[in-house]
Amino acid sequence: MNAVTFTWSHGANRYDVTPAQHGGTLREFARFVARHRAPSKARAGYICAPLGNEGHRKAANALQRAWLALDVDDIDPAAFVEWRLHLTRWRGFGWPTARSSPEAPRERVVIELSDEVSRDDGVRIGDLLQRDVAENFGVAVRLDPCQFRAEQPAFLPLADAVPFYLLGDPLDVPTWLAQAPPAPPPPPPLDEAAAELADVRMRCLLGRLQALRLLRAPLHNHEGYALHCPWVALHTSESGVTATAVLYPSEANGWRGGFSCLHSHCRGRRLRDLLALVSAVETTEAEHVD
Ligand SMILES: [Zn+2]
């Protein structure tokens, strides 16, 4: 089979933030890793999940991939043979890491998955793999959970490292995910309809404030507009230029927008007070026109 079933990123060294994108069969993936063995740990490149957008190595750019890397941090030499036998259930390949020694073996393993997984599902399967390893080996084998993050670099072997190959089956993604606890709830999503309304209301309000000559200047942080306070008659002291401001909808104000005036008489006033005042002024003006 010549289909491209694996895609991966290759960083030329640890500082490479925009790794090159590659694809191929499992055999080609394994050969690629073997061919990119490094003369020293400092010069080792890495692989990670394929990356989209502008290609920077970060979580938001991680694309789906049909493999997971295991960073096996700590293997009790007494459990080493059992561990390797355990691995043979899967299909993939691995290599001892730069810090590996017979007294303290450490290795990286690439396991083939039956399906491509998202970054989140990769982490969920990783949690299950850790549980599986803990059930079978206790503390004799330890996996680094960070390695299950798609964007985490898996450093490539050194020149003298001898790779090994696993001839079992791809890890069956649906079966494993069915055992995974549900993903934690995402942060409360922005209600798009409400945000749209707040946005329209804000633009409308700014237009009216402009017409009423109450707008002063955009805030330096681009988060709102400094105003002449409409309640300035109640202020007991002079205003700083940005003492009074209307704030654009943002995460900080729940995407509703806001109003703030630092003068003590205005402390309790909110955006709704400003909206009410502006619409009251307009009603009065409309009555005059009639
Ligand atoms: Zn005020």
Q: How far is the CA of 105 from the centre of ligand 1 (A)?
A: 69
Q: How far is residue 51's CA from residue 7's CA, in Å, rounded to a whole number?
A: 9
CB atoms within 10 A of CB 167: 10
Q: How far is the CA of 214 from the centre of ligand 1 (A)?
A: 12
CATH (residue range 6-179): 3.90.920
Contact 33, 25 (CB under 8 A): no
What does the buried/exposed string (b/e) look like for 117-142 if buried means 16 or more CB atoms within 10 Å of the residue's CB?
A: bebebbbbbbebbbeebeeebeebbb
Q: How far is the CA of 268 from the centre of ligand 1 (A)?
A: 10
pLDDT digits (tens, 9 = 90+) for 164-174: 999 999 999 99
Q: How far is the CA of 256 from the centre of ligand 1 (A)?
A: 20
Specify the amino acid at residue 46: Y
Domain locations in the chain as residue ranges: 6-179, 192-289
Name the token pair of 161: 């490292």
Q: How far is the CA of 230 from the centre of ligand 1 (A)?
A: 7
Residues 13, 34, 64, 68, CA torsion sign: negative
SS3 string of the chain? CCCCCEEEEEECCCCCCCCEEEEECHHHHHHHHHHCCECCHHHCCEEECCECCCCCCCHHHECCEEEEEEEEEEECHHHHHHHHHHHCCEEEEEEECCCCCCCCCCEEEEEEEEEEECHHHHHHHHHHHHHHHHHHHCCCEEECHHHHCCCCCEECCECCCCCEEEECECECHHHHHHHCCCCCCCCCCCCHHHHHHHHHHHHHHHHHHHHCCCEEEECCCCCEEEECCCCHHHCCCCCCCCCEEEECCCHHHCCCCEEEECCHHHCCCCHHHHHHHHHHHHHHHHHHHC
Predicted confidence at residue 241, as pLDDT, reads: 64
Q: How far is the CA of 203 from the centre of ligand 1 (A)?
A: 21
Q: How far is the CA of 265 from the centre of ligand 1 (A)?
A: 7
Show pLDDT as tens, one digit a residue, over the chain (290 residues): 445 689 999 999 989 999 999 999 999 999 999 999 999 988 999 999 999 999 999 999 999 999 999 999 889 999 999 999 999 999 999 999 988 998 999 999 999 999 999 999 999 999 999 999 999 988 899 999 999 999 999 999 999 999 999 999 999 999 999 988 766 666 555 677 777 888 888 988 999 999 999 999 888 888 899 999 999 888 877 766 668 999 998 878 888 899 998 888 888 899 999 999 988 887 776 665 54
Claim: this prediction has a pTM higher than 0.85: no
Q: How far is the CA of 239 from the centre of ligand 1 (A)?
A: 8
Identify the burial level of 64 via C-beta atoms within 10 angstroms of its C-beta, where 0-12 means exposed, 13-18 middle and 19 or more buried.
Answer: middle
Q: How far is the CA of 229 from the centre of ligand 1 (A)?
A: 5
Predicted confidence at residue 2, as pLDDT, reads: 42
Q: How far is the CA of 110 from the centre of ligand 1 (A)?
A: 63
Q: How far is the CA of 285 from the centre of ligand 1 (A)?
A: 23
Q: How far is the CA of 244 from the centre of ligand 1 (A)?
A: 6
Q: How far is the CA of 73 from the centre of ligand 1 (A)?
A: 61
Q: How far is the CA of 263 from the centre of ligand 1 (A)?
A: 5
Q: How far is the CA of 289 from the centre of ligand 1 (A)?
A: 29
Closest CA to 225 of 233, 214, 217: 217
pLDDT digits (tens, 9 = 90+) for 52-68: 999 999 999 999 999 99
